[in-house]
Chains A and B, each alone.
Chain A
Amino acid sequence: MSQIVARVRAIPTWQVTLGLALLGLGFLIAAQLASEGPRIRYTSQERTPLVETALDLQAQQDGLKQQILQLRSDIEDLEATGEGGATVTQDLNRRLEQARIAAGLVAMTGPGLVIQLSDSSAPVPPDGNDRDYLVSGQDVLTVVEELWLAGAEGIAVNGERVTNATAIVDIGGSVLVNSAYVAAPYQVTAIGPDTLFDTLTTSPGFVDFIRARAETFGIGVGYAVQDVDLPAYAGSVNLRHGRVEPSPGAMSLPAASAVPGSGAP
């Protein structure tokens, strides 16, 4: 025994390091080859160009959204520069800022709740459907709708603000939110009252959801009651197929003092 220990001790340190590094190298080469497998198959099925196009379009979308947020910020700064003018301009600027806040075009912070939905780790039975064990667009949509019903005043999913233009749909095993590709785990973040968690978790619709998805298929549902941040909606607000009817009978413009924290004097 003591001879073996002595022989091990006699091995130079660099040989031990080299041995470990070669072990890691072998592991990585195996992993790389394994991950190449599906890609080779995709090539034969002409998937690769579509995957690359989708990834490229998604990257373009991220850039375009940043550009929109920057332009909106530039315009707000310019409008603030011109605020020294007439009172009517100052008033319009305040109203515009409030309208942007109400529309979800401004990043917000406040008390709320984060719900995390994650794919099931339960084994899929032989006669089971893989998709049942993944979080679906419908699951995310259900949680968003239940949060609205429980009193949420603003919601985001994985960094995408939910507005009146937001669709949540399935794409493969993942989800599109605002046409942006997002993958599990899904974090549904909501600003809302202190009662949000209790109201949500006792709502019949949410209880049904938990029973149907978490208890039956093991979909993970985690909660955190905390202060949350919501990003600004970085999409189009153009009405390309209609125009606004400034009807006097319609809802009046928001009052300048109605929005908290808008910076209005």
Chain B
Amino acid sequence: MRRMSGRLAVTAVMLVLGFLVVVQLRSQAANEGLSGVSVQELGELVANLTTRNDQLRDEIRTLESQREGVAGAVERGDSSSLQIRTDLNRVLGWSGALPVTGTGVRVAVDGSLPGTAVNELLNELRNAGAEAISIGAIRVVPGVVVTGPAGNLVVTGIPLADPIEILAMGQSEVLSGSLTRAGGPIAQLAARYPGVAITVTAEDRMTMPATNRDLNPQLGRPRL
């Protein structure tokens, strides 16, 4: 009898132990990393995630419509070439393989910045949702990095003359607001490089060239 009650006690304690292990692990996983994030940063994170999720839903609507179009064409026995051309054009424009025209901002840098600072501006423009970027006459695509000290910048082997001009396609208010906000990248660069003035102006129409780079992979293979 005594042995039986002992077993029951062990079982009960083990059950509680198991439950607490799960609770502990879950609470740790949920808060991992976010514990160091301030309220202001959390606000930015929520805004960032919301914008991104809206873009993803937009992409889903486009893809659903495309799937319907292709399915309809296949059912009718048509070649779906119009659908494919539309999608091809979209992907090539987005990737930088074709030129694009649209609205956005022009960022003019009066004075000399080092390559690292220019890359910070490009990164911030991407963060603000820029759909296409060019610097000088060079389309910014994966692999395009600005290098060199102030006054001697180089992009993909091509010298970049001052004053630097960056075009970014996207919602001009958001792009401009992101760069010029208090404590934002322009304010930070102004503090680090006092002789440099950066201005951002909205553009109703601007065209960005296609990249000259070969975007096709030479070593990688599609993963099946």
Q: Do A and B come from one complex?
A: yes
Are A74 and B67 in touch, CB under 8 angstroms? yes
Query: Interface extent on B, as a size class?
Result: 35 or more
Tell me whether A199 is interfacial, beta carbon within 8 Å: no
Q: Which of A1-9, A45-53, A120-128, A217-225 contacts B (4 or more CB under 8 A)?
A: A45-53
Interface residues of A in 69-125 (CB under 8 A from B): 71-72, 74-75, 78-79, 81-82, 85-86, 88-89, 92-93, 95-96, 98-112
Are B66 and A75 in touch, CB under 8 angstroms? yes
A168 / chain B contacts, CB cutoff of 8 Å: 123
Mark interface residues in B12-41 (1 if CB within 8 Å of A CB, else 0): 011011001101100110111111111101
A172 / chain B contacts, CB cutoff of 8 Å: 33-34, 36-38, 41-42, 45
- Chain A contacts to B: CB under 8 angstroms: 12, 14-15, 17-18, 21-22, 24-25, 28-29, 31-32, 35, 38-39, 45-47, 50-51, 53-55, 57-58, 60-61, 64-65, 67-68, 71-72, 74-75, 78-79, 81-82, 85-86, 88-89, 92-93, 95-96, 98-112, 134, 138, 141, 145, 148-149, 152-155, 162-169, 171-174, 176, 178-181, 183-184, 191-193, 205, 229-230, 234-247, 250-251, 253-254, 258-263
Residue of A nearest to B3 (CB): A14
Are B210 and A145 in touch, CB under 8 angstroms? no
A71-B63, A205-B147 are known contacts. Are A99 and B92 too (CB-CB below 8 A)?
yes
Tell me whether B160 is interfacial, beta carbon within 8 Å: no
B39 / chain A contacts, CB cutoff of 8 Å: 45-47, 50
B63 / chain A contacts, CB cutoff of 8 Å: 68, 71-72, 75
A261 to chain B, nearest CB (A): 4
B14 to chain A, nearest CB (A): 6
Tell me whether B52 is interfacial, beta carbon within 8 Å: yes
A106 / chain B contacts, CB cutoff of 8 Å: 222-223
Are A179 and B6 in touch, CB under 8 angstroms? no
B23 / chain A contacts, CB cutoff of 8 Å: 32
A112 / chain B contacts, CB cutoff of 8 Å: 219
Extra contacts besides A78-B70, A86-B79, A242-B104 (7): CB < 8 Å? A102-B95, A102-B215, A154-B220, A172-B33, A174-B34, A238-B131, A261-B222
Are A79 and B84 in touch, CB under 8 angstroms? yes
Which residue in B24, B41, B49, B96 is a CB contact (below 8 Å) of A164?
Answer: B96
B64 / chain A contacts, CB cutoff of 8 Å: 71
Are B218 and A260 in touch, CB under 8 angstroms? yes
Are A259 and B91 in touch, CB under 8 angstroms? no
Question: Could you name 30 residue pairs across A and B whose Cβ atoms are closer than 8 Å?
Answer: A14-B9, A35-B24, A50-B43, A51-B37, A51-B42, A53-B46, A54-B45, A54-B49, A65-B56, A82-B74, A92-B81, A95-B88, A96-B88, A99-B88, A102-B97, A102-B217, A105-B91, A107-B222, A110-B217, A149-B147, A164-B142, A171-B41, A172-B42, A176-B45, A183-B33, A229-B223, A238-B94, A241-B103, A242-B102, A251-B211
A82-B79, A96-B88 are known contacts. Are A108 and B217 too (CB-CB below 8 A)?
yes
Complex: how many Å from CA A111 to CA B172?
40
Complex: how many Å from CA A155 to CA B46?
26
Interface residues of B in 144-168 (CB under 8 A from A): 144-145, 147
B126 / chain A contacts, CB cutoff of 8 Å: 164-167
Complex: how many Å from CA A245 to CA B206?
11
Tell me whether B187 is interfacial, beta carbon within 8 Å: no
Tell me whether B80 is interfacial, beta carbon within 8 Å: yes
A183-B32, A191-B220 are known contacts. Are A64 and B60 too (CB-CB below 8 A)?
yes
